[in-house]
């Protein structure tokens, strides 16, 4: 009879658990909640400032376009504002009383408060662009926009018809102080 030596038996391996425990997950979620509560107000302020900047830049571009189009078409063009505060709109139009809230043949372009929530319109001034030169009849402030953070942006038109954007209160790059 042949005897075989008994093979040594291995001790069972313990499997190391992978992943996270419930406590570790809860701690991670708690830390994320604290960080989010700190980030949300600053993100909301960032969005508000971005909307204020967009309102000023949109009006600036619309004024440039109205100046060009008045000279190109050979007819006067008008910048008409309606409303104020948080319920406003404006239109670049071929007639001085063209409604910016409804689609009309006289309206070439319009902007509304619903597109830029939280941006308030203060001190709106209607403008007429001369067809011969493209310059406004009465240069000066076209509008002042404000945001909840206290920033105020002024959009005006100089005597040559060029729009100028500047800050009355606060800072908002790329606009300089007035």
DSSP conformation letters of 49-118: HHHHHHHHHHHHHHHHHHHHHHHHHTS-EEEEEEEEBTEEEEEEESSTT--SSS--TTEEEEEEGGGSTT
Per-residue model confidence as pLDDT tens digits over 145-158: 999 888 999 999 99
Backbone angles phi, psi at 168, to 5 degrees: -85, -40
Instruction: Give, in order, the Cα–Cα distances in Å from 172 to each of 22, 50, 83, 150.
Output: 45, 9, 25, 11
**Residue 79 has which token pair?**
């910048």
Check if the beta carbon of residue 54 is closer than 8 Å to that of residue 113. no
What percent of the chain has pLDDT above 70?
A: 90
Would you say residue 169 has pLDDT above 80?
A: yes
CA dihedral over 25, 27, 29, 35, signed as positive or negative: negative
Per-residue model confidence as pLDDT tens digits over 46-105: 899 999 999 999 999 999 999 999 989 999 999 999 988 889 999 999 999 888 888 889
Would you say residue 121 has pLDDT above 60?
A: yes
Confidence (pLDDT) at 75:
93
Mean pLDDT of 14-22: 77
Fold assignment, 25-177: minor pseudopilin epsh fold (3.55.40)
Give residue limits of the domains in the chain: 25-177
């Amino acid at each position: 009879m042949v005897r075989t030596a008994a093979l040594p038996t291995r001790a069972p391996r313990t499997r190391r658990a992978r992943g996270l425990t419930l406590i570790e997950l809860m701690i991670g979620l708690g830390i994320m909640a604290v960080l989010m509560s700190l980030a949300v107000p600053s993100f909301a302020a960032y969005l508000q400032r971005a909307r204020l900047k967009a309102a000023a830049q949109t009006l600036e571009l619309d004024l440039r376009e109205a100046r060009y189009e008045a000279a190109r078409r050979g007819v006067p063009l008008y910048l008409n504002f309606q409303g104020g505060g948080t319920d406003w709109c404006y239109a670049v139009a071929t007639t001085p009383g063209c409604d910016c809230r409804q689609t009309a043949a006289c309206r070439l372009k319009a902007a509304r408060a619903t597109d830029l929530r939280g941006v308030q319109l203060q001190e709106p001034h209607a403008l007429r662009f001369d067809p011969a030169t493209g310059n406004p009849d009465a240069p000066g402030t076209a509008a002042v926009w404000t945001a909840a953070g206290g920033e105020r942006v002024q959009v005006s038109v100089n005597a040559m018809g060029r729009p100028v954007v500047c800050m009355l209160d606060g800072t908002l790059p790329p606009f300089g102080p007035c």
